[in-house]
Amino acid sequence: MTSVGDFSVGVLAVSAGDEVAAAALADDLRLPLCDTATRPRNCEQFQALLICSAQKLALQQTGWPVPGPVSVDFGSAAMRHRRRGGHNELLGKAIGLSKKPQMHVLDATAGLGRDSFILADLGCEVTLCERNEIVTRMLASGLSVAALSADQWLKSVVQRMDLHVGDARSLGVKALSGVDVIYLDPMFPDRDKSAKVKKEMALFHQLLGAGDDADALLLWALGQNVARVVVKRPPKAPELGHCKPSHTISGKAVRYDVYVLHGL
């Protein structure tokens, strides 16, 4: 059984028409391909299934009861609601949007791309870096679906998002040239109190791991030729790497530690 660390994942085609794509995906990711008749609630061989359909990829925890599948859907009602949230103003302040409206942000810990999408919606050019192969495939699927959408707003936002597969620290000088801000969001327990969100994030904590190199990632970011580095933290969490920021911007549920290196 192939696993991602200690977390076992299989690939499942939704229908017979998806089997060729699912087989290719399983081969690329070096993961087992499940029989199309497999049902997530009855599957005991894997802890999660990467579900492949013509429209999108989704990660589904196995067993019962579990939350529904998680996918990258930038046009979802939840994302549309989130773009109107007050914390977006805090994020804009943290990256210095008022000082330079058209900015290039490197999201070095893209995850499911939600903060990257908000940054792009605020007008930034965003390079997303994600090193987990399963999550990068989900991101690529979500970006592709959005780019083909009839929604012109959605298409225009994702046109400002560029996905880099791999560790941000592997980016060359050319790729980093022109980046104004490096944004870091190390994984930490989700602030949402709902059981569904907690279970969803628990699934990704198992998939992505503990993120034990977050301190090293911050030190790398601070060594780059960028105007500032912004780190997203829980309100009462210690500074990442015990590095004191230039200033902080705090809300009820999140804090942004801002490290100013030079003017924008």
CATH number of the domain that residue 103 is part of: 3.40.50.150
- 45: amino acid identity, one letter: Q
Q: What percent of the chain has pLDDT over 70?
A: 89
CB atoms within 10 A of CB 46: 24
Q: Give yes or no: residues 38 and 131 share one domain.
A: no
- The token duo for 86 is 């007050």
Q: Give yes or no: residues 186 and 117 share one domain.
A: yes
Q: Give yes or no: residues 190 and 86 share one domain.
A: yes
Q: Give yes or no: residues 198 and 249 share one domain.
A: yes
Closest Cα partner for 7 from 203, 194, 198?
Answer: 203
Q: Give yes or no: residues 162 and 61 share one domain.
A: no
pTM for the model stands at 0.89
Summarised one tens digit per residue, pLDDT across range 118-138 is 999 999 999 999 999 999 999
Contact present, 199 and 221 (Cβ < 8 Å): no
- The token duo for 225 is 């030729």
Q: How confident is the model at residue 39 (pLDDT cuts 50, 70, 90)?
A: very high
Closest Cα partner for 233 from 192, 198, 185, 183?
Answer: 185
User: 204: helix, coil or strand?
Assistant: helix
Taking 50 as the threshold, does the pLDDT of residue 228 lie above it? yes
Q: Give yes or no: residues 47 and 81 share one domain.
A: no
Q: Give yes or no: residues 171 and 228 share one domain.
A: yes
Q: Give yes or no: residues 252 and 141 share one domain.
A: yes
Q: Give yes or no: residues 240 and 109 share one domain.
A: yes
Residue that finishes a domain, picked among 45, 71, 97:
71
Q: Give yes or no: residues 40 and 165 share one domain.
A: no
| Cα(70)–Cα(200) distance, integer angstroms | 7
CA distances to 105, 134, 214, 233 from 118, in Å = 11, 22, 22, 17
- The token duo for 193 is 């109190």
| Cα(186)–Cα(218) distance, integer angstroms | 10
For residue 1, the model assigns a pLDDT of 37
Residue that finishes a domain, picked among 71, 96, 118:
71
For residue 82, the model assigns a pLDDT of 78
Q: Give yes or no: residues 221 and 119 share one domain.
A: yes
For residue 102, the model assigns a pLDDT of 84
Taking 90 as the threshold, does the pLDDT of residue 66 lie above it? no
User: Domain tally for the chain?
Assistant: 2
Average pLDDT value for the chain = 88
- The token duo for 51 is 């579900």
Q: Give yes or no: residues 84 and 171 share one domain.
A: yes
Closest Cα partner for 254 from 236, 228, 229?
Answer: 236
Q: What are phi and psi of 82, to 5 degrees?
A: -65, -35
Structural domain boundaries, residue 38: 3-71
CA distances to 25, 29, 187, 189 from 233, in Å = 34, 31, 9, 10
Summarised one tens digit per residue, pLDDT across range 3-30 is 455 789 999 999 999 999 999 999 999 9
Residue that finishes a domain, picked among 71, 90, 107:
71
